[in-house]
Amino acid sequence: MEVRSCPGCGKLFNYLGPTTPACPACMAAREEKFQVCKEYIRQNPGANISKVAEDTEVSVKLIKQWVREERLTFAEGSSVGIECERCGANILTGRFCNACKGNMTQSLNNAANSLKPTPEPVKADPRENAKMRFLGDK
Ligand SMILES: [Zn+2]
Ligand SMILES: [Zn+2]
């Protein structure tokens, strides 16, 4: 068990992991805000992130975090201000755009395929080992 001070109110609390970064009271308040945001976006599908932040009194940072976590999804055409972490394209939710997600799934599949056991067992080359030791001794 790890005791941390709450980033919201400064009180000490038992830190349970990255999904609960604040004390129970602040987490409950945050969850309440999340519901308000979610409802607001549902009723105002064209609203952009700063408008949502303004009208719900939730910080843009927190809304962006929820968008990254894919808890909030903005409507097509609204300027969320969230960029794909890979190519920088404007996206509506999550961390990557659809094109990058597609590419990544493909390269993951390729990686999985190349990991399939090769019929030839790889033998350790004693000369390679000697070289490694030599480099390590430097
Ligand atoms: Zn707190
Ligand atoms: Zn992308």
Q: What is the pLDDT of residues 98-122, one digit of tens each?
A: 999 999 999 988 888 887 766 666 6
Report pTM: 0.68
Closest ligand to residue 7's CA: 1
Q: Give the structural domain span for 9.
A: 2-114
Nearest of 44, 48, 89, 96 to residue 68 by alpha carbon: 96
pLDDT digits 0-9 by tens, 35-55: 999 999 999 988 888 999 999
Closest ligand to residue 95's CA: 2
Q: Identify whether 91 is part of a domain.
A: yes
Q: Identify whether 130 is part of a domain.
A: no
Average pLDDT over every residue of 57-72:
93
| Domain tally, the chain | 1
pLDDT digits 0-9 by tens, 84-99: 999 999 898 999 999 9
Q: Identify whether 102 is part of a domain.
A: yes
Cα 40 to ligand 2 centre (Å): 27
Cα 31 to ligand 1 centre (Å): 13
Q: Identify whether 31 is part of a domain.
A: yes
Q: Identify whether 61 is part of a domain.
A: yes
Average pLDDT over every residue of 117-131:
62
Q: Residues of the chain with pLDDT > 70: what percent?
A: 84
Q: Which letter, b or e, does each residue of 99-110 get, where b requires 16 or more Cβ atoms within 10 Å of its Cβ?
A: ebeeeeeeeeee
